[in-house]
Amino acid sequence: MVTTPPTSEAVTIRCPQCGAVNRIKQEQTDKGMNPVCGRCKAPLAADGAAGAGGDGKPITVTDASFVAEVERSPVPVLVDFWAPWCPPCRMIAPAIDELAGEMAGRVRVAKLNIDDNQATAQRFRVASIPTLIVFKDGREVDRIVGAQPKQAIAERLRGLVT
């Protein structure tokens, strides 16, 4: 059996929803086609910018959705425990948003408002904010308390991503 080499470059994209690795032909994305995951049919972006909702932005989690969105996630999840009245939380918000886009497909980024979701904040003993907790395979694997520069957060995440 003779196989011919592919006529176009292919990129691999990890699905932000189910974690499956997908091969997408670059020419398809160049033509404006919107690829989807072969396993779960979630939207993908060939530039790796697909976030949990397909837009490269953090998802909002609540007490009710935390288990499904964070603890059952096939990829590691960075959860930002924050409150709207917290100046350091507002200060790191742009960095968290950027990381969601930059690490999409490898790390899911979520935000949990502790004022509206006190049960989850208490469950994880969040005593001060901002608190960033990284979950992998449903377990807490790292915790960053206080405002940190984007690069410091990114380095901690890179050490946990396979």
Annotated active-site positions, please? 86, 89
Helices 150-158 and 87-102: crossing angle in degrees, nearest 10, is: 50
Give the helix ranges, DSSP H, for the chain.
26-30, 66, 87-102, 118-123, 150-158
Pairing of strands 108-113, 131-136: unpaired
Whole-number Cα distances in Å, 140 to 16, 85, 110, 124, 132: 19, 26, 14, 9, 10
